[in-house]
Amino acid sequence: MEPTKRILDMTRRLGVLRARDLAAHGIARTYLQRLRDRGVLIQVGRGLYLLADAEPSAQNALAVVARRVPAGVICLLSALQVHGLTTQAPFEVWVAVPTRARIPKVADLPVRFVRMAPAALEAGVVHKKIDGVQVPVFDLEKTVVDCFRHRTRIGLDVALEAMREYLRRPRRNVGKLLEYGAIDRVRASMRPYLEALV
């Protein structure tokens, strides 16, 4: 199979193609540049490409960031938006990374990094398919708890709005909120708000 066809197949399958994905298949990166110059691919970031005829969703930035920062998990305001728990539209993608991890350079993308301990980073991770990319995102309960953990960064009003919206849902799990609250060490500070809203 010719390299151009293989690149297009990989881009359809992956959603967002990284230039380094070609190395495993022995394809030179110059093919990417040629496809970009012909208008077949669009470069959306350093080393990241989409099909020009693809219909990216409103959350395409999450897919792009997930491919650029594979060790990260979408969190806080971005996770609230994914789960429909906020009226806010963040202009940055919020990504949780391990405490001592090196922050990747993503100057061409609007990203805000949040460092988390291993236990907090591993709890409540689910994968959502966005534009063909499996994007790791914290689940509903973990997102609400993280908002309380980082309320000085995002604002107490956002954390309260997230909790209020979560508690209105028919399939809520207060026990899970408290479990994640213990992991994030905010159980005691979160409990009065939880009791007032329930």
Interval 164-195: pLDDT, tens: 999 998 888 999 999 999 999 999 999 898 88
Buried residues in 178-187 as b, exposed as e (16+ CB within 10 A): ebbbebbebb
- pLDDT one-digit tens code per residue, 145-158: 999 999 999 999 99
- pLDDT one-digit tens code per residue, 50-108: 888 876 666 888 988 998 888 999 999 999 999 988 877 788 899 999 998 888 887 77
Task: Write out the E strands in 23-124.
Answer: 41-45, 48-51, 73-74, 93-98, 111-116
Using the 8-state DSSP alphabet, how is residue 101 labeled?
Answer: P
- pLDDT one-digit tens code per residue, 11-25: 888 888 888 888 888
Query: Contact, 187 vs 181, CB < 8 A?
Result: yes
What pTM, to 2 d.p., does this model score? 0.80
Positive/negative CA dihedral, 94, 95, 98, 102:
negative
pLDDT of 125 reads: 96
Cα 189-160-158 angle, rounded to 5 deg? 115
Token digits of residue 146 = 């993280």
